[in-house]
Each structure stands twice: as C-alpha cells, then as structure tokens.
Amino acid sequence: MDPVTAILLFITGLIAGTLGGLLGIGGCVIMLPSLTFIFNYPLAVAIGTTITAVILTASSGAIGHIRMKNVDYSTAKIVAISGAVGAMVGSIIFFYIADQIWLLNLILGFAFLYVALRMIYEGIIKRKMPERAGNEVPGSKASKGAIGFFIGIITGIVGLGGGYALVPSVSGAFKLYQGLVDIIAAISIGIGAVIGAQLGARLVKIVPSWAIKAIFGFIFLYVSLRFIWQGFVL
C-alpha cells in the first residue's frame, strides 16, 4: 500500500471515530461504505478489514467507559458471551456466502436501512422524549442474551454492530483466518478511529448530536439503498 492511501485511510478512520464518539454509533458504519465505495475494496475484504479495525475502536471505547464507570457489568457479560457465540456462527455463515456478492449487498443494505431509520428517529423524534434514569440496562437476561447473539451473527456476517470488544475480536479472528483482511488498511483506519473516538467524546457537550444524527440518518439511507440496488443488479 502506498503512503498516500494509508494517510487517506487514517483520515477516514479519524472521521469515523469522531462521528462514532459523537453520535454513539459504531465507526464501522462509516468505514465499511468508505472502503467499498471510495477505496473500491472488494466487498468481502471491506467487511473483513472493517471488523478487524473495529477491534481497536471497541477496545478503546470499552476502556474509556470502564474508567468513567459507565458499564453495566452484568449486562456486558451476558451480551459479550452471547455475542461472541453469535459472531462465530455469523463468521461461519460468511465463509459460505462470501462469494455471493449480491446477497452480501442485500444484507448490508437492510442492516444500513435499520441504522438510517434509527438515526432519523433518534435525531428527529426521540430527542423530544424524556430520558430514562438509572445505571442498569433494562430487560431480562434472556432478552439481553438473544440481542447479543443476534448482533454477534450480524457482526460475523457483515462486520456491523458488536460494540463490545470481545464480539469484533472473535469475528475479526475468523476474517483473518479466512484471508479477508487488509492488515495495513485495518491498522491505518483503526488508529485514526481510536483518535477520532476520543475527539468525538469530547464534542458531545458542544455539538448537538441530534442534528448530526438526523443528517447522517439520511446519508445512511442513501448508502442502504445503494447496497440494496447493487444486490438486485449484480
């Protein structure tokens, strides 16, 4: 990889990490479409490289929140274990469908559609609602385990979701084994995202995140429709 590309990937990671830290979303939703549509990576390699880079950002974010005592450890343990199992299942599924580019495009398209609609909802509607108080994540252990398992599967297949460090680590290990990771790109974009995440966290009190969520919700809506379109035309 030439130095210019490495620098551009670092800048992409910086932007992804900043937005992730500001909006409370995974940097992967910026990294993956950037690698696919801007840097023209094959979709399977873009997915593998993204989930490997997210290991750095997820670990950095986890450490930061542990220091700020923002972690519900009982929920984290349930989601981490069920998510890791789901990631292994998803990675095995990915192994068998990696050459079905149309299917990967459709899965990504609908995954991004969910992200887009959620961000539009949180940016335009939910911001007007009162926030819940408390220091624990609501819900039963069974529901948390089911959510973690489902998110792990999605992470294993398309590299989205799985914010807790263990889930992308398991998925990333499978992608490395499958030979679907550009290591230099993952490191470049991952380091940029780690720095950006710290910057984004500090901008939370300055920048109205609801407005950025609304804007990027519509951007991700375009990204989702583009993936879906490619899934139907390929």
pLDDT of residue 188: 93
pLDDT of residue 228: 94
Strands (E), the chain: none
pLDDT of residue 122: 83
pLDDT of residue 158: 72
Q: How far apart are CA 63 and CA 41, in angstroms?
A: 31
pLDDT of residue 58: 67
Q: Which residues contact 173 (CB under 8 A, 6 or more apart)?
A: none
Mean local confidence (pLDDT), 213-230 = 90
Residues 36-90: pLDDT tens digits? 999 999 988 888 888 788 777 766 666 666 666 766 677 777 877 887 787 778 8
Q: Which residues contact 225 (CB under 8 A, 6 or more apart)?
A: 109, 113
Q: How far apart are CA 183 and CA 165, in angstroms?
A: 18
* pTM confidence score: 0.75
Residues 135-170: pLDDT tens digits? 555 567 787 778 777 777 777 677 665 554 455 555
Decide if pLDDT at 185 tops 90. Answer: yes
| Number of Cα atoms under 13 Å in the Cβ half of residue 219 | 11
Q: How far apart are CA 117 and CA 111, in angstroms?
A: 10
Mean local confidence (pLDDT), 102-116 = 89
Where in the sequence is the domain holding 9, given as residue range(s)?
3-233
Q: How far apart are CA 150 and CA 177, in angstroms?
A: 22
Residues 12-40: pLDDT tens digits? 999 988 887 777 666 778 898 999 999 99
pLDDT of residue 84: 75
Mean local confidence (pLDDT), 109-132 = 79
Q: How far apart are CA 139 and CA 10, in angstroms?
A: 38
- Mean pLDDT of all residues in the chain? 79
Give me the phi and psi of 173, to 5 degrees please: -60, -40
Decide if pLDDT at 211 tops 50. Answer: yes
State the total domains in the chain.
1
